[in-house]
Amino acid sequence: MSDAKKDEKKDDKAAPKGKGKLLAIGGAVTALALAFVAATFAVPAKEAPTPKLEGPFVGPITPSKVQVNLNDGRTYLVLQLNLLHDAYSPDYLTQRAGDAVCQAEIRDALVTIASAKSRSDVTDRVNKPVFLEEVRHTIEPLVFPVHLGDGESPTAADDASGLALGVTMSRSSFRGLHAEHTLRVDALQKLVALDGGTEVRFKGDEQDLEVPCGDGTSLWLDVRSLKPGFQGTLHVGTMGRTRRVLWNEVLLQ
């Protein structure tokens, strides 16, 4: 009996030690878990890097040659021009070349410009650079139109907000780069503003809402499909810019 009592006392003394170990292990695990959670929330999320223009790139303005009569009515010009440019993507000009509307507008612009020229206007050492610069200035808003938000084309609406560019945007002189300008949109208050500028109030049925840019230019917005309750900012601007128009092939007859 005395031996049994001794064994019971030993067991009673040993039990608290085992519990102590379990408590210590459990406490350590809890502490590690809390430290992990704290570290996770303490580290700020990394912001996406701001896109930067790459280049220069060069590519044909039109996929095929353009033929036009000059202003004398007898001489015709066959030309194919290259565009030296910078863009966020090296494939952007190729994508625009596959846009039927874009190509129709570019060819129309080239014919309009060239048909008003004489032979010397397109061949003379002094006049030729002037002709090419006129072409560059005219086609720039066609090759690099303004995009809104994540819209893949200038006519596409932004997915998150439903906001789109207005029909007058094609005639706007705004040429800011997409990564450098933001449009603040508040569908609840029915307010929009560009780059922290003057707020413009809208009703919600405007197809061509003018938003001043502060530099004498304007954005034009179609707010009819703006999602109710949307509040946020959207990038707005062009996806690149032109440098020079270069001769690729020219024929006068």
**Chain segment 92-133, per-residue pLDDT in tens:** 999 998 899 999 999 999 999 999 999 999 989 999 999 999
pLDDT above 60 (res 39): no
Instruction: Output the CA angle 88-233-230, nearest 5 degrees.
Output: 130
The confidence band for 211, taking pLDDT boundaries of 50, 70 and 90, is very high
Question: Residue 59 corresponds to which amino acid?
Answer: G
Place of tokens 């039990």: 15
Question: Residue 74 corresponds to which amino acid?
Answer: R
Place of tokens 């009819």: 224
Pick 17 or 228 by higher pLDDT.
Answer: 228
CATH superfamily to which 54-145+241-252 belongs = Band 7 domain (3.30.479.30)
Most confident of 9-13, 38-42, 227-231, 246-250: 227-231
Q: Give percent of the chain above pLDDT 90.
A: 67
10-24, 132-146, 154-168: range with lowest mean pLDDT: 10-24
Q: Per DSSP, what are the bridge partners of residue 231?
A: 186
The confidence band for 32, taking pLDDT boundaries of 50, 70 and 90, is very low
Buried b (16+ CB within 10 A) or exposed e, 106-144: beebbeebbeebeeebbeeeeeeeebbebbbebbbbbbb
Question: Can you give the pLDDT at residue 191?
Answer: 97
Mean pLDDT of 228-245: 96
Using alpha carbons, select from 178, 164, 243 the residue that is nearest to residue 208.
Answer: 164
The confidence band for 47, taking pLDDT boundaries of 50, 70 and 90, is low
17-31, 149-163, 167-181, 185-199: range with lowest mean pLDDT: 17-31
Task: Give span(s): CATH 3.30.479.30, the chain.
Answer: 54-145+241-252
SS3 state of residue 8: helix
Pick 45 or 204 by higher pLDDT.
Answer: 204
**pLDDT averaged over every residue in the chain:** 85
SS3 state of residue 127: helix
Q: Give percent of the chain above pLDDT 70.
A: 81
The confidence band for 37, taking pLDDT boundaries of 50, 70 and 90, is very low
